[in-house]
Amino acid sequence: MSVTTKDLGSQLAEIKGAEVIKSFCYTCPWQCPTEVFVRDGRIVYQKGNPESPNNIGSRCAKGMASWYVSQDPDRLTTPLLRTNPKGERGEFKQISWDEAFQFIANKLKLIADKWGPEAVALTCHHDPNTVFYHHLLKDLYGSPNMYAHTSGCEQDRRSACLTLFGHVFPMHDFANSKFVMLWGMNMLGANQGLWESRALIEAQAKGCRLVVVDPNFTETAQKADEWVPIRPGTDGAMALAMCRVIIDEKLYDEAFVNQYCEGFNGFRDHLHDKGYTPEWAEEICGIEAATITRLAREFATTKPAMSAIFKGSGYYTNGHDAGRACYILDAICGEVDKPGNIHLKDWAPLGAPVEIPADAMRQPEKDPLHIAMGYALAPDLPNSRLPDAVINGDPYPVKGLFVHATNPVMSDPNRDRVMEMFKHLELAVACELYLSETALECDIVLPETSFHEQAEIRQGMWLGPEVVLCQPVVDRVGDSKPPYEIVKGIAEKMGWGEHFPYEKWEDWGEVMMKDVPMSVDELKEKGFWADEVKYNRVPGGLPTPSGKVEIYSTDYVNAGFNAYPEFTERSVIPDEEFPLQITHSKFSMHCNIVTQNNPYLMEICGENWVEINSVDAAKYGIQDDTYVTVESPKDKIRILAKVVEGLVPGCVSIRHGHGFGHWAMGSVAKGKGAHSNNLMDTHTNPVTGANCYNECKVRVRPAN
């Protein structure tokens, strides 16, 4: 009997004559390498690339359903120019690409002449090929303000990792771990790459203990050995108390801290001076002192172990030090970058696609915004402060904004303020797939191709160095263009066309790949390039000021902050009038605000809801599966309520993702669910510049 390794779906698709193209999925930021089956110009099936270490053939539901974006009738098809004044609901007329390029070039010249090139900024998230915009707006135009949207995402985690390890992006070697402690990281619900979820489950099968610290009994907590239902915004207290137990009981790795850590003795004294004991922490985080002590002992004595964070401990004004404290647990136990630990990922030697000669490069004359705003340690723009720059010229005027594959009107806190910002811009450009809520506030909307219609070469999101390729698999929708062609078009109108000479994507692909030992042709065949996973980079020296793991942070001290993490309360605390604390979490069947126009995913999960504990529900007269009003001091929303047992009383959890499309985006999304981001005021983490989405108190009552 012959044995085939192919699954039934691929066999059927091949039998039906589909071509198989290697690509990657970009429905969520984890960009799994995939095989896309195409017949008669349509995607008929997709699955994970079976050879890739990222997903070993699997895809999630969002990835499977993603073909729809390449055929969605709601997609933008031509460039649009605003015809009515800003502040009114956007009305647009269709224009040609040539007119669009000329309009943007004229405005760019005007802004540079009047305010200087630093008055133009770019933000992005879902960021296919944003790098081309950087070549145009940074290298040639001279703006230092090329940003992503990390302050709306994992800014506190990145900042903590940078501070301690000099490394911006921690990954997780679950496969080799024996004890995993996840703080506010719901990786089986909001997946952080399919291979990580799989590695965690497989490690558990081999005896790894999983402890999940989260106010919510999440999908990940449900699979854990232990759920630690912490009060929101108090992780720092618990992690510091755990450090105290480990140090007092001499359970730390003495050789590691002596050789490779900066400031261990000072940290020990700091914990004593501040009185950070398990009993002290119990009062703050609602977890018994005995549990904190036991977990500290278990963490320190089971090897290899990992204490990892994502966004849960962030989103508060004290998130920076919570993150540091959680990673210091790894540091004092010598659990850094070895098998089974948090992993300081190596990057692939991928180059820039466009080579601008030195004499054509324009050096920025002003500090980038985050520095000028006073956030020297921010890994990215504190984007909740951007409206200050646009509306008030503080710290300097911003007059032009490119929003590339990001929707700040819906994703940032304090929607009112973000919408106000757009009124004050001389030039607002949305580079989008849909007429998003942000696009509606812009002067000009550029229809981009989706990842199914364009090429992209990126760093892969796997443990080892990796390059992943996305290829165009179907025709472009309407007259949409990939970022390279858009940037080239604007550059030509600015007189910089010579720097964008490529006719086809393979030409810039070769430039990017020149230091990677694989040709573009081979990459097209295979879909990815990966090198072996390397461990143990700490002894070789880290890119921190001292070259060591910085428990004592030189950067913090230089920037005027505390050398060691401290626990401070967050700035908004529920009270009698607004007795409940907001938290947020994501959906497994959606990604942020990208998938709500997909009818297949909406059939599974068609609206978002707020979760409330049964004790609170009884107190406020809330029935399961009924509509409620969630009201903050700033705004209120009508949203479906789910009454649950697994949520810390005194808080609610709003599932983020719908409510987008109430007035824009697409016909499927429109009117479904509720948008919570106008409930909160603007709160910015004072060190990292992160958006504090959970700094918000509310009351809940039945809705009519």
Ligand X SMILES: Nc1nc2c(c(=O)[nH]1)N[C@H]1C(S)=C(S)[C@@H](COP(=O)(O)OP(=O)(O)OC[C@H]3O[C@@H](n4cnc5c(=O)[nH]c(N)nc54)[C@H](O)[C@@H]3O)O[C@H]1N2
Cα distances (angstroms) measured from residue 528 to each of 33, 54, 374, 460 = 7, 10, 40, 8
Does residue 451 touch ligand X according to CB under 6 A? yes
Does residue 63 touch ligand SF4 according to CB under 6 A? yes
Beta strands in 49-157 (DSSP E): 80-82, 92-94, 120-124
Q: What is the largest CA-CA distance in the chain?
A: 76
Distance, CA of 632 to CA of 683 (rounded, Å): 14
List the one residue out of 35, 655, 687 whose CA is nearest residue 320.
687
Nearby residues of 265 by Cβ (< 8 Å), 6 or more positions away? none
Among 135, 138, 149, 370, which residue interacts with ligand X (rule: CB under 6 A)? 149
Q: Which does 236 bind (CB under 5 to 8 A by kind): Mo ion, ligand X, ligand SF4, none?
A: none
Does residue 653 touch ligand X according to CB under 6 A? yes
List the one residue out of 271, 286, 164, 156 whose CA is nearest residue 213.
286
Supply φ then ψ for residue 444, to 5 degrees: -145, 140
Does residue 28 touch ligand SF4 according to CB under 6 A? yes
Which is nearer to ligand X, 117 or 323 (by Cβ)? Answer: 323
Does residue 62 touch ligand SF4 according to CB under 6 A? yes
Question: Which 3-state string (H, E, C) describes 317-381?
Answer: CCHHHHHHHHHHHHHHCCCECCCCCEEECCCCCCCCCCCCCHHHCCCCCCCCHHHHCCCCCCCCC
> Which single residue brings its beta carbon nearest to Mo ion?
153
Of 13-21, 22-30, 156-164, 486-494, the segment contacting ligand SF4 by CB under 6 A is 22-30
Among 13, 18, 21, 25, which residue interacts with ligand SF4 (rule: CB under 6 A)? 25
In whole angstroms, the minimum distance from the beta carbon of 315 to ligand SF4 comes to: 22
Does residue 60 touch ligand SF4 according to CB under 6 A? yes
Among 64, 153, 610, 687, which residue interacts with Mo ion (rule: CB under 5 A)? 153
Q: How many CB atoms lie within 10 A of CB 59?
A: 20
Residues between 13 and 32 with contacts to ligand X, criterion CB under 6 A: 28-29
Distance, CA of 205 to CA of 225 (rounded, Å): 12
Of 31-39, 185-193, 275-283, 346-354, the segment contacting ligand X by CB under 6 A is 185-193
Does residue 608 touch ligand X according to CB under 6 A? no
Nearby residues of 106 by Cβ (< 8 Å), 6 or more positions away? none
Distance, CA of 579 to CA of 576 (rounded, Å): 5
Chain centroid, CA 364 distance in Å: 27
Does residue 200 touch ligand SF4 according to CB under 6 A? no
Does residue 639 touch ligand X according to CB under 6 A? no
Q: Which does 25 bind (CB under 5 to 8 A by kind): Mo ion, ligand X, ligand SF4, none?
A: ligand SF4
> Tokens 């799994």 identify what position?
32
Does residue 32 touch ligand SF4 according to CB under 6 A? yes
Residues between 48 and 107 with contacts to ligand X, criterion CB under 6 A: none
Contact 610, 653 (CB under 8 A): yes
Does residue 327 touch ligand X according to CB under 6 A? no
Q: Is 608 helix (H, G, I), strand (E, B) or coil?
A: coil
> Which single residue brings its beta carbon nearest to ligand SF4?
63
Does residue 686 touch ligand X according to CB under 6 A? no
In whole angstroms, the minimum distance from the beta carbon of 131 to ligand X comes to: 14
Residues between 382 and 421 with contacts to ligand X, criterion CB under 6 A: 405-407, 411
In whole angstroms, the minimum distance from the beta carbon of 374 to Mo ion comes to: 24
- If binding means CB under 6 A, how many residues of this protein chain bind ligand SF4? 13
Does residue 59 touch ligand SF4 according to CB under 6 A? yes
Q: Which does 382 bind (CB under 5 to 8 A by kind): ligand X, ligand SF4, Mo ion, none?
A: none
- If binding means CB under 6 A, how many residues of this protein chain bind ligand X? 60
**Residue 345: both structure tokens together:** 């990922």
Among 194, 203, 305, 322, which residue interacts with ligand SF4 (rule: CB under 6 A)? 194
> Tokens 């017949």 identify what position?
39
Which is nearer to Mo ion, 64 or 153 (by Cβ)? Answer: 153
List the one residue out of 52, 307, 251, 29 whose CA is nearest residue 154.
29
Angle at CA 344, nearest 5°, toward 339 and 349?
A: 115
Does residue 187 touch ligand SF4 according to CB under 6 A? no
- If binding means CB under 5 A, how many residues of this protein chain bind Mo ion? 1
Distance, CA of 315 to CA of 295 (rounded, Å): 25
Does residue 685 touch ligand X according to CB under 6 A? no
- Beta partners for residue 628, in sequence order: 639, 702
Which is nearer to ligand SF4, 60 or 700 (by Cβ)? Answer: 60
- Beta partners for residue 428, in sequence order: 401
* Residues making contact with ligand SF4 (CB under 6 A): 25, 27-28, 30-32, 59-60, 62-63, 191, 194, 591
Q: Which residues bind Mo ion (CB under 5 A)?
A: 153
Query: Where along the sequence are the contacts to ligand X (CB under 6 A)?
Result: 28-29, 125-126, 128, 149, 152-154, 183-187, 189-192, 213-216, 218, 230, 232-233, 235, 310-313, 405-407, 411, 431-434, 436, 448, 450-451, 583-588, 590-594, 653, 656, 676-677, 693-694
